[in-house]
Amino acid sequence: GAGVSQTPSNKVTEKGKYVELRCDPISGHTALYWYRQSLGQGPEFLIYFQGTGAADDSGLPNDRFFAVRPEGSVSTLKIQRTERGDSAVYLCASSSDRTHNEQFFGPGTRLTVL
């Protein structure tokens, strides 16, 4: 596709449940990033992938959060035992060496944990 896409656009879940958020990067982009944006805040880095491997996962808040990118394209962010504090917009971005690593952002997934 022309841009980064994320599904679902909205996700409502109950405390303690497991959720998966999906990101489809721009075709050919080797780097993929996940950020989290809470209300009234700027996006906060979670993890980024270079190809299939996680190059930097220092932003993951705890071991309930995990992300994969098994084929170097689509990525899934997985959150176990969700808590109300996980409610936020989860943003995905991708970049390419050809564009000097400018990151292109998707529309985000709004996660609400009740």
Partner 1 sequence: AQSVSQHNHHVILSEAASLELGCNYSYGGTVNLFWYVQYPGQHLQLLLKYFSGDPLVKGIKGFEAEFIKSKFSFNLRKPSVQWSDTAEYFCAVTAEYSSASKIIFGSGTRLSIRP
Of 33, 24, 31, 44, whose CA–CA distance to 89 is shortest?
44
49 near 69, Cβ under 8 Å?
yes
> How many C-beta neighbours within 10 Å does residue 10 have?
10
- In the complex, the smallest distance separating the C-beta of residue 15 from partner 1, rounded to whole angstroms, is 27
Region 59-88 residues binding partner 1, contact defined as CB under 8 A: 59
The owner of tokens 């962010």 is 77
Does residue number 25 form part of the binding site for partner 1 (CB under 8 A)? no
28 touching partner 1, by CB under 8 A: no
20: contact with partner 1 by CB under 8 A: no
Task: Summarize as ranges the residues that interact with partner 1 (CB under 8 A).
Answer: 30-31, 33, 35, 40-45, 48, 50, 55-56, 58-59, 91, 93, 95, 100-108
